[in-house]
Amino acid sequence: AQSVTQPDIHITVSEGASLELRCNYSYGATPYLFWYVQSPGQGLQLLLKYFSGDTLVQGIKGFEAEFKRSQSSFNLRKPSVHWGDAAEYFCAVGAAGNMLTFGGGTRLMVKP
């Protein structure tokens, strides 16, 4: 069965600082990996996705993620965080065309 672990429940960073959110997955085949962001009262918005090819993927809002098969990881990064980035971030793994399995989420707080 597929599973996703996000080890950090809460992270606080200062505005302008860099950010890395961790994601580890378990999946028997080639994974399809996603990062979503959820702001209060909002639905989930896709930040980026990995299906194949280049292991460093670029997303919206200046985010990027790197797929490392040997570590079963898909960490999300941003070089400089803005206060508007405060939200909950979810990593997910999906089988082709089917359901997504989400991690428990990481709540990001940004200090001014």
Partner 1 sequence: DTGVSQNPRHKITKRGQNVTFRCDPISEHNRLYWYRQTLGQGPEFLTYFQNEAQLEKSRLLSDRFSAERPKGSFSTLEIQRTEQGDSAMYLCASSLEWGASGAHNEQFFGPGTRLTVL
- The residues binding partner 1 (CB under 8 A) are 4, 6, 32, 36, 41-46, 49, 51, 90, 92, 94, 96-105
Nearer to partner 1, 76 or 103 (CB): 103
Q: 3-class secondary structure for the chain?
A: CCEEECCCCEEEEECCCCEEECCEEECCCCCEEEEEEECCCCCEEEEEEECCCCCEEECHHHCEEEEEHHHCEEEEEECCCCHHHCEEEEEEEECCCCCEEECCCEEEEEEC
Nearer to partner 1, 15 or 24 (CB): 24
Lookup result for tokens 């001014």: 112
Nearer to partner 1, 17 or 99 (CB): 99
Q: How many CA atoms lie within 13 A of 35 on its CB side?
A: 30
CB of 65 to partner 1, least distance (A): 15
CB of 30 to partner 1, least distance (A): 13
Nearer to partner 1, 28 or 97 (CB): 97
CB of 104 to partner 1, least distance (A): 5
CB of 26 to partner 1, least distance (A): 15
